[in-house]
Structure 1
Amino acid sequence: MTLTKTTCPYCGVGCGVLAGADGTIKGDPNHPANFGRLCSKGSALGETIDLDGRLLEPKIEGRAAEWDEALDLVASKFSAAIAEHGPDSVAFYASGQLLTEDYYVANKLMKGFIGSANIDTNSRLCMASSVAGHKRAFGTDTVPGVYTDLEEADLIVLVGSNLAWCHPVLYQRIVAAKEARPAMRVINIDPRRTATSDLADLHLQIAPDGDIALFNGLLTHLADAGKIDDQYTTQHVNGMAEAIATARQSDPTDTGISAQDLATFYDLWASTEKVVTIYSQGVNQSETGTDKVNAILNCHLATGRIGKPGMGPFSVTGQPNAMGGREVGGLANMLANHLELGNADHRQAVQAFWKSPAICTQAGLKAVDLFDACAKGQIKALWVMSTNPAVSLPDADGVAAAIANVPFVVTSDIMEKTDTNDLAHVCLPATGWGEKNGTVTNSERRISRQRAFLPAPGQARPDWQIVSDVATRMGFGKAFAYRTPQDVFAEYVALDAATSQFPRDLDLSIFADADYANLIPTQWPRNDQRFFADGKFYHPDGKAQMIPVTAPALAKPRFQLNTGRNRDQWHTMTRTGKSARLGPHLAEPYVEIHPQDAADLGVTVGDLIRVESTYGTAILRALVTPRIAAGQLFAPMHWTRQLTTSGTVNSLTAPVTDPVSGQPALKSGAVVANVYKAKWYGFLASADAMTPQTPYAAIAKTQTGWQAEVAGRKLPSDWVAEARLLSGRSTGDAALHSDPATGLTRVAISQDGITKALFFAAPQPVIMSRPASIALIGTDAAPLTALAGRAPADQPDPGATVCGCFNVGRNTLLNAASKGARSVTALGEATCAGTNCGSCKPELAALLAEAALPMAAE
């Protein structure tokens, strides 16, 4: 099998992948982002390339249509809206899942030919505050450092970044560096104790939104300790005195961090020259996200610790091509190629290069404002590309209603059923990962190729081609006559050359004569180059700007909700949800709650919690853990209305945004929480996909079919009928067993002697071996054996999944530990757990500690 060199479609690390049409997936040992490493999600990519659930032909109002009919309709509806209501009556909402070529064409059509800047992207939810902070400090959106800085640093400070789960390969690079140089120190700043905290020498459990007070305190300490680089700041930095004076007004003790830990952090930062501060969504997704970014940048600028080996601020992006989108102007307040939308000379140069009839003259609607405009009836035609805003945006229920209010909605997607597609008038089938060609840019400015190793299925087309086809039908064909993605990339590089008279960081000259087909991963402006070590910035006077930032007063509601991600899932799970290997680790919507809060609410193990806000309600499984601070809750945002009846977490989050960046504050919001007492709870394993409609339901793919956790408020009168309804299996033989003493009811449904569905229900959360029951689906096990709810003697129950890469369960690990594997390394040697991406290593260590077994030295 020939393996194709391509790039992973998940986070912004940008890992190289060797992929085969048979589903073979390997890390590319020669790619400088990962050197062969892959995380659990990347390792399972081969399990997500099937055509199950794919959108394979255009759909108009749910019926199959030909491409010409669908494209003609899209073009006519957009043209009519523009003619009647003006260019700002239409909008595109794009995605960091798009390739740079797709992004470039969509941005060109909207800004240069429709003449509006109403194109924004889900990257607004990812790193818009970082972009705004960079521009305020540096004069342009520049990531100064490179990944090798992580290995060269003597101190790494992780702020609002659960790197072990969200960027596992970068986490493993730091782990390896720390093992090689034990003197390296790591500090983790996070309201939760996460898997990343296990690597840290110090975990600072900061109060939500306490980051500005913390870093203002650091800046004050640096000034008082004589650690300011006077020569660097005098020559290259403006605004230092004002920034320090404002910083002195902050009280670091408001952060909830002890005075001793604050002193330890400040002293270590001040005394260590090679410091890298890595920050992510915990910083960006805030009402004060941009100020948080500048509070961090201020400390690096004041000490000259920027742009040199092993030092500097480092924003790691969540979306795989968030950086590529930034480069081509995919955000509503940007022009292409890092040019300024508000600069008339820049606009004129881009318009002249594109030979476009019009160009936008003001910023467009940012994501939250865009959907607010949809709700108000201001947007008459909306195109959503490769994303699912009805789930991922704050106030998700309100966003779904806003999309439904738009007279004409078109989506281009790979999946047929998504929460957003369900609201569209036209759905266009796009090619997915493994089927499309183009480029992406990772968090260190490295451009890599994504290459096709599969044919385009059905009638699917690349996004750049779909947009070009619509542009042609709108009368702009000459400017969109691309034949290949290479044509688009060449134009993107040529635009950079044509506007080189404008000083900025983006320099694509290294790609001017690049062999596109054989393009190797390459950084702009050149490999391994850092920015700003020479003190040259991009403000008109060539200096950086330190920004005075004021710490906000911290809200203290009874409960604050923090949202985020799971280790083994990606965004709204349209891809990772297809992998049976990735589902079992955390298979249903859950909420982390502190033991004291759980006791106060009367929550016990396995209970459900009803969480409410001004905007919506969610029912989530309680995960009682001291990792979360009292008064705080944490819930991941992955589950959609396709997978759960009541677990869409962004139904709870408020559409509150940072006033500078427009990025929503998804990390802290006031909610009310109470135990949700159902009349009955159930677990269902089935050979077939199902859509349970109980008040609480969460479904997930398994190795033998599907599983569902369910709960109801009304006791069924017929448990067999309920099992048939939930599983969607109206035929077949049913075996029923009820235990009056415990109230546990069990139903097995078989067809021709083969077990097709198993259902367990009880008045309290069901305790039984889920892996064992799942394994019996599709077998000829006798009904009584199947209904036992435990593994047969000759098939040991692996227990709940801990290692997603190798599907290693808790019981398997405990058994290995009892036989002498009493270190993380030994567990890996015995079971393979932790030997691929390593993200489960903190859980392995916690399991050994919890089991109270003597641990061997590593």
Structure 2
Amino acid sequence: MTLSVASTTTRTTCPYCGVGCGVLATPQADGSVAIAGDPDHPANFGRLCSKGSALGETLSLDGRLLYPESDGARVTWDEALERVASTFKRAITEFGPNSVAFYGSGQLLTEDYYVANKLMKGFIGSGNMDTNSRLCMASSVAGHKRAFGSDTVPGNYEDLELADLIVLVGSNLGWCHPVLYQRIVKAKAERPDMRIVLIDPRRTVSADIADLHLPLQSDGDAALFVGLLAHLANAGVTAPGFIADHTSGVDAALLVAEDWTVARVATATGVPEHAIALFYDWFARTEKTVTVYSQGVNQSAAGTDKVNAIVNCHLLTGRIGRPGMGPFSVTGQPNAMGGREVGGLANTLAAHMDFSPDAIDRVGRFWRSDSIATEPGLKAVDLFAAMGRGEIKAIWIMATNPVDSMPEADMVKAALAACPFVVVSDMSARTDTGVTAHVRLPAAGWGEKDGTVTNSERRISRQRPFLALPGEARPDWWIVSEVARRMGFGDAFGYASPADIFAEHSALTGFENDGSRDLDLSGLIEADYASLAPTQWPVRRASRARMFGDGRFFTPDRKARFVPVLPPPPFAPAPGRFIFNTGRVRDHWHTMTRTGKTPRLSAHYAEPFVEIHPADADRLNIARASLVRLSNRHGSVVVRALVTDRQRRGHLFSPMHWTDQFASNGRIDALVTAKVDPFSSQPALKMAEVEAEPVNAALFGFFVSAQRPALDSAYWAVAEAVGGMRGELAWFEQPADWDHWLRSAFALPQAARIHSMLDSGSGRRSFVVLEQGQLVVALYTAPEPVAVSRQWAVGLLSAQGLSASTVLAGRPGADMPDSGAIVCSCFSVGVNTITAAVTAQGCSTVEAVGACTKAGTNCGSCRAEIRGIIDAHRLAAAE
């Protein structure tokens, strides 16, 4: 199976978040690929975020898994596939179908997902197919199904531009869904009367456009919206006709809510009464209201109830199914929705059908299988717990890295290490999960894949290949189909292309579907797959309509259901502990197997960190930029201190991206307790308890190097840089022999000359190795965090004609200006460049800075930081 390299521009879809942006990819004569936003794609209209803009920089074969491996040795595809098939068959024969499992990912295309789910649930006969979407959107699924009878997201992106009030709940849209954020920014600029409310414990960059920020206590969302429901009822802001004709259960929901006064909500959330009252008043008086929510709602032990508390308010006011209004779940991954559509979650069967007797019979007849699973399988947390108990004898992990992304990640790592047979399909040669595998299978990556994804507004878009399959890499659907054939199910898996799979999936959605099921792609069965345009479902043969616009839902009586929600008590950590919140940063994606390959995306944040309020830092004697140990009974990590008042006192925040490939001890999810929502089984990834303490390092270091080093210091974190690597270091004891340490860590030949300089007064040292005026390695150490401009030092890797004295000085000369820490990743614009535009060029607005430097003119995610720089200098000038 081979693909030729595309020579013209290919329309495809971004592989990152659930916005589902259209991308134009154009291979160049030099082997690079030019990336641009697709101006005709209705999700982004040509916009791309920093990650999407940098996609062309992630396509190298460095670090790719290119050949099948068995027990670490290269084997043929036949050998690898036969071992996978025979081992799974043996486990099923000896221990039953529930002894094996698949664990998928929102990085899979819909066609990949469909084939994997069909094999496990349709022919192996077990429900044990779950996905990392369990960590992302499972509570939305459960909340939708309780309210609507189906996993239906009713919103469209255009609603964000039509709304008069947008409520962002647990959603840092500015960093996690930047293109949607920019659509809102543009709409607000055109209609200044539009109001935006941010509900988040942190003052994130999304607060930049907010008219009101409610910094509520973690897990206070349910109380806030239950109180809103009571307020709306008491104020008479209801839709009696809609409630009577199109809903059920309102009295029970209001009975639970009636005691939730503004004063009680203030106590439960920690938000002042006047701010809550203002939010309630705006919501009551604004018909066109969209409530956008994401992981801050879903990743909670009360996530499903939070979803229903939000939905209840929209049902009470009839604000659903019409333009510019409704609850809107925005998904985290590019194909979380597609996976949900084909049954990627363990509690669903296929085509948005559950394990009901009718659905089991229907899907069994469609697949022509008498071995179909009859009950849900193990969900992610339960799956790895069962593996730890020895109940799972074989697992196949596809396109994901649970050793880093799952809660209690150390337990997951131990469970995989103990599992008798682990298969990993991935494009990366080395991940923290891949090192546990007995068989590793090289999967196609973005740019090589061919299939579809579905975004947060139910829009199906094509991912099209424009690169040849490298080495012996193969698409996931092909790999799974080949294993199915070797297990004896070849007749059901004889697909020649992803088009065949999509046609079968579309047919199943329409099979015996008289309108009683929301997902219906029957209108696409005869569509030209190769030229399929971005299409929003449902696509029935007769018509397509806005979801719920007719007031009909997918419950047995076709009425939406109010769900009584009793808010959980305020969460109070044990004395001396912090509430620990995890999430994402602007420029990295999940466990950095893709974004970690481009220096541009590592320039903003190059190492794991923890946000801590200044008062908490002072109390614990944690200095700015020092190291901090976070720990609990599940494990510990060491991260950099980012002292900031955008964090609440008593709360900490760390991003989840860093792995053992990038840091010595930065696997954040090792600290997260595997506590799950009782309805969705989604883990509470934002509600751990941790202790924090300073790490008393004897020495700190920073290096830039032409090659990746082998480090053994107490702390290290590395990142790609143009021309090499960069990294942070710390030691508990200073190396006794610097010459030996440097030669060992950086693999320097004995002939290499190491230049050094020591400032005996401060204890600061610098070391440099040059080869014909080019930098091989530079290392700077100090008893405190090293005060060397990182961007200047990284620039040395690309410089020519360097002298040892210049590098050893550790500061730029007049011929090499220092742009400062990167603020705008899209155009690599640093803080010093922006400051100069403000102070020397007189730029007093974000737009003026953009015109002068280009900063903030692409995805706009850095606009809040640019405004902060402008404001800081305005205040300084006024003093």
**Deviation of residue 245 (structure 1)?**
1.0
Note the C-alpha offset of 1:795.
Answer: 1.5
* Amino acid in structure 1 at the alignment position of 2:872: E
Q: CA separation in 2, counterparts of 1:117 and 1:52?
A: 36
Equivalent position of 1:711 in the other structure: 730
CA contact (8 A) 1:719 1:747 kept: no
1:348 lines up with 2:356 in the alignment: no
Q: 1:737 and 1:281 mapped to 2: Cα distance? A: 49
Who is 1:809 aligned against?
Answer: 830
Q: CA RMSD in A?
A: 1.3
Counterpart contact for 2:722–2:797, Cα < 8 Å: no
Q: Counterpart of 2:119?
A: 109
The corresponding residue for 2:437 is 424
Q: Structure 1: how far apart are the matches of 2:552 and 2:43?
A: 27
Q: For residues 212-251 of structure 1, what are the structure 2 equivalents within 5 Å?
A: 212-250=222-260, 251=264
1:548-697 maps to which residues of 2 (within 5 A)?
548-557=564-573, 558-697=577-716
Matching residue within 276, 297, 310 for 2:311: 297
Establish whether residue 741 from structure 1 lines up as the match of residue 755 from structure 2. Answer: no
Which residue is 1:148 aligned to?
158
**CA distance, structure 1, for counterparts of residue 544 and residue 713 of structure 2:** 54
Residues 160-171 of structure 1: matches in 2 within 5 Å? 160-171=170-181
The answer as to 2:760 corresponding to 1:754 is no
Match of 1:315 in 2: 329
What whole-Å deviation, never above 9, does each CA across 1:445-464 have from its counterpart, x for those lacking one? 00000000000000000000
Which residue of structure 1 lines up, in the alignment, with residue 411 of structure 2? Answer: 398
Partner of 2:532: 519
State the match for 1:846 in structure 2: 868
In structure 2, what is the Cα distance between the partners aligned to 1:510 and 1:699? Answer: 50
Tell me the distance in 2 between the aligned counterparts of 1:541 and 1:158: 32
Distance change >3 Å, CA 293–CA 426, structure 1 → 2? same
5 Å-filtered alignment, 1:434-473, equals: 434-473=447-486
User: What is the letter of the counterpart of residue 466 of structure 1?
Assistant: I
1:58-77 superposed matches below 5 A: 58-77=68-87
Amino acid at match of 1:318: G
Aligned equivalents of 2:831, 2:745: Cα separation in 1: 29
Residues 808-847 of structure 1 show CA distances to partners (whole Å, capped at 9, x for unaligned) of 0001111111121121001100110000000000010011
Residue 119 of structure 1: how far off its partner (Å): 0.5
Between the aligned partners of 1:243 and 1:680, the Cα distance in structure 2 is 59
- Paired amino acid for 2:299: Q
Once the 2 structures are TM-superposed, how far is the Cα of residue 736 of structure 1 from its aligned partner?
Answer: 1.2
Amino acid at match of 1:65: V
Find out whether 1:764 has 2:784 as its counterpart: yes
Matched, 1:413 2:426: yes
Aligned to 2:501: 488
Is 1:14 the counterpart of 2:20 in the alignment? yes
Within 2, Cα distance between the matches of 1:185 and 1:772? 41
Offset from partner CA, 1:688-717 (integer Å, 9 cap, x none): 122422221110001121011011111111
* 1:650 Cα offset (Å): 0.6
CA distance in 1, matches of 2:179, 2:709: 35
Q: 1:502 Cα shift?
A: 6.9
Matches of 2:258 and 2:424 in 1, distance apart? 50
Given that residues 443 and 473 in structure 2 are in contact (C-alpha distance below 8 angstroms), is that contact kept between their aligned partners in structure 1?
A: yes
1:337 Cα deviation after fit: 0.4
Does the CA-based 8 Å contact 1:770-1:789 persist in structure 2?
no
Q: Cα offset for 1:534? A: 1.8
Deviations 1:783-829 (A, max 9, x none): 11111111221111010000000000001111111121121001100
**CA positional deviation for 1:528:** 8.0
Q: 1:776 aligns with which of 796, 799, 807?
A: 796
CA distance in 1, matches of 2:331, 2:340: 11
**Residue pair 1:510, 1:524 contacting (<8 A) in 2 also:** no
Say whether the 8 Å CA contact 1:6–1:449 is kept in structure 2. Answer: yes
Query: How far apart, CA to CA, are the structure 2 residues paired with 1:494 and 1:162?
Result: 37
Question: Structure 1: which amino acid aligns with 2:236?
Answer: G
Paired with 2:201 and 2:710, the residues of 1 have a C-alpha distance of 36
The residue number in structure 2 matching 1:798 is: 819
Q: What letter corresponds to residue 747 of structure 2 in structure 1?
A: G
Count of matched residue positions in the alignment of Structure 1 and Structure 2: 855
Partner AA of 2:811 in structure 1: R
Partner of 1:149, secondary structure, is helix
Q: Does the aligned pair in 2 maintain the 1:12–1:319 contact within 8 Å?
A: yes
Aligned equivalents of 1:160 and 1:416: distance in 2? Answer: 34
Corresponding residue to 1:477 among 490, 493, 517? 490
Change (3 A) 1:501 1:309: closer
With 745-754 and 626-635 compared, the bigger mean Cα shift is at: 745-754
Q: Distance in 2 between matches of 1:685 and 1:7?
A: 35
SS in 1 for 2:51: helix
Aligned residue number for residue 41 of structure 1:
51
Report the AA paired with residue 771 of structure 1: Q
- Stretch moving more, 406-415 or 763-772: 763-772
Counterpart of 1:476, as a letter, is: F
Q: 2:8 aligns with which of 2, 6, 20?
A: 2
Shift of 1:676: 0.8
* Matching of residues 535-554 of structure 1 within 5 Å: 535-554=551-570
Structure 1-normalised TM-score?
0.98
Deviations along 1:247-278, one digit per CA (max 9) or x if unpaired, are 12443111011000010000000010000000
Cα deviation digits, residues 608-647 of structure 1 (max 9, x gap): 1110011010111000000000000000000001111111
Please state how far the C-alpha of 1:501 moved relative to its aligned partner: 4.1
The verdict on how the C-alpha distance between 1:201 and 1:855 changes in structure 2, with shifts beyond 3 A counting, is farther
- Tell me by how many angstroms 1:416 deviates: 0.5
Aligned-partner residue type, residue 603 of structure 2: P
How far does residue 730 in structure 1 lie from its aligned partner after superposition? 4.1
Q: Is the 8 A contact 1:403 1:409 kept in 2?
A: yes
Matched, 1:382 2:403: no
Q: Which residue of 2 aligns with 1:828?
A: 850
How far apart are the structure 2 equivalents of 1:692 and 1:528? 58
Check whether the contact 1:146–1:528 (CA below 8 A) recurs between aligned residues: no
Structure 2 CA distance for aligned equivalents of residues 55 and 822 of structure 1: 49
Question: Cα distance 1:353–1:709, how it changes in 2: closer, same or farther (>3 A)?
Answer: same
Distance (whole Å) between structure 2 residues aligned to residue 499 and residue 697 of structure 1: 58
| Counterpart secondary structure, 1:241 | helix
Equivalent in the alignment of 2:143: 133
Aligned-partner residue type, residue 735 of structure 1:
H
| Letter matched to residue 755 of structure 1 | L
User: Identity rate of aligned residues, in percent?
Assistant: 57
Matched letter for residue 380 of structure 1:
K
1:753 to partner: Cα distance? 4.0
Q: Secondary structure at the match of 1:46?
A: helix
Whole-angstrom distance in 1 between the partners of 2:801 and 2:420: 53
Q: Gapped runs of 5+ residues in structure 2?
A: 1-6
Structure 1: state its 5+ residue gaps. none
Instruction: Check conservation: 1:5, 1:16, Cα contact below 8 A.
Output: yes
* Letter of the 1:159 counterpart: V
CA contact (8 A) 1:822 1:854 kept: no
Rounded Cα–Cα distance in structure 1 between residues aligned with 2:544 and 2:634: 46
Greater mean alpha carbon deviation, residues 623-632 or residues 817-826: 817-826
